[in-house]
Each structure stands twice: as C-alpha cells, then as structure tokens.
Amino acid sequence: MSIPVVDFSAYRLSEKHVNDEQLQELGAELKTAFTQVGFVYLKNSGITQEEVDRVMDISKKFFLQPDELKQPFCRKSFSINPNHGWVSLETEKLNPRRPGDLKEAFNAASLHPDIKWPSSGAVTGFQEIQMSFFQSCKELSLRVLRVMALGLDMDPDVFLSAHRLIGTDENGTTLRSLYYPPVNSEKAKEGQLRCGEHSDYGSITLLFQTSEGLQVRTRSGEFVSAPCIPGAILINIADLMQRWTSDQFVSVIHRVLLPPVGDSSTRQSLAFFVQPDDEALITCCDGSNKYPPVAAGAYLIERLSQSYIEN
Ligand SMILES: O=C(O)CCC(=O)C(=O)O
Ligand SMILES: [Fe+2]
C-alpha cells in the first residue's frame, strides 16, 4: 500500500477560477485515495511552507517553556470551550489500552474573543499566528470537502452544508499543535508510545509534519510509515466521514512509535481536525441505515471523553 499524491493546483487556495472538468478529475483522484487507502498527500494546496514554519516555530517556543507557564492555558480551564488549551505530557491516551501518550499538545479550538492566549516573551504573536493558520486550513478544508462530494457524484454542498460554523464554538474543529519531546527509553513505561493507535473522530484531518514517525495501518493489519513529503499535506478520513459515506471512505488507524533507543530527536506536527457543526445530524448519505444518525457535537464529546480516561 502506498499513499497517493494528488496535485491540487487547479483548486489551490488562491485559485479563483476552476472548471468543472478539473474539479471532476480532482474528485476522482480523491475518491480513489479515500476509498482505497483513507489517506492522501495533497501537494500545491496553496498553504505555504512559510505559514507552516511560523506555526511550528511559535508552537515549539510555547512547549519549551516550563510547565508553570503553560498551566494557565490548560485544557478544560476555558468554560467557553472545554477542548481548548494545553494538554500536558501523558495526559491523553489515544489508545486507552496503553499508558498516556508521550506528547504535549495545544488545541486551538476556540477563536472566541474572551479566550486568553499565551502572549508573553517567547510566544509573542502566538494567537495571531494560530488564528491565521486556522483560517487557511479552514478554507482549504472546505475546498477538499466540496471535491470529495463531487468524487462521490453527490451534491457538492452535501458535506459543506454541515460545516458552516467552523471557527465558532458551535463547531468542534480544532487546530492542534503537537510536540513529542526527546524520549529516555529507560524511563518509558511498558507499551508506551508517542501517540497510541487510533482513528480520528471528525470528517477529515489535515496533517503537517516535519519528520518521520507516523505509521498508518494497512488493510492487512501491518503498519507502514507515512513519511514527510516536503510541501505536501497529509489528509485522512476520520470516523464521522466514514459513517457518513457508509464506509465508502475509510478512516484508518495510525500511530507514532517511540524513536529508536539512543535517538534523542523530537517530533512536531500540526493536525487540523475538521469536525461537522455540533448540531449537524450525520446520516448515511447513500440513504442506507448502516449507521444510526448521530449529532456531530455529542459524538465528539463521547470520543474525547474516552481518550482522557484516568488510569
Ligand atoms: O503527530 C502525528 O503525526 C500524529 C497525530 C495524530 O494522529 C493525532 O493527533 O490524531
Ligand atoms: Fe490522528
């Protein structure tokens, strides 16, 4: 299995004129990738490497601060949006059968003006950089969702109409910066990973990575690496999209292993988790009853609660 690469130039972010033929062709390419593999590399998306680097840099500066400086921004301390904020090392278990993941994260889940953002010293510009990247990812995601619908010969708005509120607190879409610190293999717990085996929860995920480490499970059950292709964004189907499409598009398990013993490198990634509006009722789009309708917001709350189970 290899992850296909799709050239999105025809519908890249700055592109205002795209013709039906080009859209149909992109739709067909995404359909092949998402039905057969569940992952695709999108190149020429219109999101620049400079933008990605800016977010990576400011996020790393945030993570490298002492925990006392990050604590005031802890996840669950914002009543407007309980998923917003910093997640400390070993707090989340993406595979609940393993110890906590050896990673830290910052969830930019709310853009509400009342949210207090890190702003001092090393992290000056953090809010503006995160918000502006959130908007670019949102615009690209809407383009991808439109092309995905066309690929399935459906109304181009079928997914878009359930993603009208991205960037508000009535929609769970989140820009998540991830930092995997150096690992001391002797101190790691039995079975502990950087990121446990899981599939994502929402509609699609855009992943930006700068180093190796991510692995994707194939149909035959083995894990293969999803290397970093400079300039390309890795996009994968998440669980609600698989339900929505009655399993036509597949949401695939992935993970990040520990580095080899003696390798003290770090890893960073940015995940933009696209989620339908909280009130959107996700119903199989082929009219079947393969899965019962589910409200996207309630579904997300349930999934999040499972990955933060206490030991
Ligand atoms: O760091 C990565 O590349 C994987 C992150 C991931 O899969 C997730 O947070 O859902
Ligand atoms: Fe994931």
- Residues 108-124 pLDDT 10s: 999 999 999 999 889 99
- Judge whether residue 175 has pLDDT over 60: yes
Q: For ligand 1, which residues put their CB under 6 angstroms from it?
A: 178, 195, 200, 207, 209, 214, 254, 256, 269, 271
| CA pair distance 273, 107, nearest whole angstrom | 10
Half-sphere exposure of 70 (CA within 13 A, CB side): 20
> Is 214 within 8 Å of 256 (Cβ atoms)?
yes
The Å distance, Cα 27 to ligand 2 centre, comes to 23
DSSP, collapsed to helix, strand or coil, labels residue 209 as strand
Ion ligand 2 contact residues with beta carbon within 5 A: 200
How do beta strands 233-237 and 39-43 pair?
A: antiparallel
pLDDT over 90 percentage in the chain: 95
229 closest CA partner among 217, 255, 211: 211
Q: Which amino acid is at 146?
A: R
| pLDDT band at residue 219 using 50, 70 and 90 as cut-offs | confident
| pLDDT at position 311 over 60 | no
Distance, in Å, from the CA atom of 28 to the CA atom of 26, rounded to the nearest integer, reads: 5
CB contact at 8 A, 128 and 220: no
Which range has the worst mean pLDDT, 120-124, 143-147, 159-163, 298-302? 120-124
Contacts of 68 by beta carbon, 8 Å cutoff, 6+ apart: none
Contact 32, 44 (CB under 8 A): no
- Ligand closest in space to the Cα of 199: 2
Model confidence at 302, in pLDDT bands (50, 70, 90)?
A: very high
The pLDDT assigned to 120 comes to 86
Q: How many residues does the chain have?
A: 311
Mention every residue, 6+ apart, whose C-beta is less than 8 A from residue 285. 152, 154, 158, 244, 245, 246
Q: What structural domains and CATH numbers belong to the chain?
A: 5-307 (2.60.120.330)
pTM: 0.98
Q: pLDDT band for 94, please (50, 70, 90 cuts).
A: very high
Residue 182 C-alpha from the chain's centroid: 22
Could you tell me the distance, in angstroms and rounded to a whole number, from the CA of residue 307 to the centre of ligand 1?
A: 13
Question: pLDDT tens-digit profile of 271-294?
Answer: 999 999 999 999 999 999 999 999
Which value does ipTM take for this structure? 0.99
Q: Whose CA is closest to atom 8 on ligand 1? A: 271
What pLDDT shows up at residue 309?
61
Cα 203 to ligand 2 centroid, rounded to whole Å:
12
Over residues 48-67, the pLDDT tens digits come to 999 999 999 999 999 999 99
pLDDT at 86 over 90: yes
